[in-house]
Chains A and B, each alone.
Chain A
Amino acid sequence: GESVGLHLPTLSVQEGDNSIINCAYSNSASDYFIWYKQESGKGPQFIIDIRSNMDKRQGQRVTVLLNKTVKHLSLQIAATQPGDSAVYFCAENLQAGGTSYGKLTFGQGTILTVHP
């Protein structure tokens, strides 16, 4: 079936480096993608989103890139800090078919560890 998945389960970087977390999706009809961050003992927290009619979107220290040709999504974190250590999930939002709610399909997650 359709799914959203991550290439790498773990990523370890030094403080100050840039981090790139990747995600592959298989549903070409998906029109909305979200990145969430989940710290230990907390629920997922929204980081940034992107619509399928965009290739790139920037936030504060984060950038999301969408390549629809190869169905690939990435999250770039600039100047990574120890506080960025968490599990990062991409999610695909399916609202096709006239549903009245957002139906998120999550990837497995990537563990990001930032070393001081």
Chain B
Amino acid sequence: ETGVTQTPRHLVMGMTNKKSLKCEQHLGHNAMYWYKQSAKKPLELMFVYSLEERVENNSVPSRFSPECPNSSHLFLHLHTLQPEDSALYLCASSHVSANEQFFGPGTRLTVL
């Protein structure tokens, strides 16, 4: 719908698991973002990639590891997460220096 897809849509994992979230954009954008959306909290910016280079790491714990192999794909690698990491993880993309960001549908993550 928005040109930004995310997989999986739902993920349940244990604290010792390793998993990855995938985001793909079909809009020709060159900046991509990861956000965390928790209940009763504003969307929190986690990482920003601009022209495939990480330009923002918003004090995110090292158990979250982003990867941007090209301008169309963005991954978030997860390992040894905590239950408080359960949230909706949203990917967005934009043109560099553009104001409007286009969001994917999110991955609903539950950490047991």
- Interface 9-mer from A11-19, A41-49, A58-66, A78-86: A41-49
- Which of B97, B99, B100 lies in contact with A100, CB distance below 8 A? B97
How far is A107 from B102 in the complex, measured between Cα atoms in Å? 17
B-side contacts of A95, CB under 8 Å: 97, 99
Among A34, A46, A107, residue most surrounded by chain B Cβ atoms (within 10 Å): A46
Q: How many residues of B contact A (CB 8 A)?
A: 28
Q: How many residues of A contact B (CB 8 A)?
A: 25
B-side contacts of A104, CB under 8 Å: 43, 45, 101
A-side contacts of B56, CB under 8 Å: 101, 103
How far is A106 from B90 in the complex, measured between Cα atoms in Å? 13
Residue of B nearest to A99 (CB): B55
How far is A42 from B103 in the complex, measured between Cα atoms in Å? 9
Residue of B nearest to A42 (CB): B105
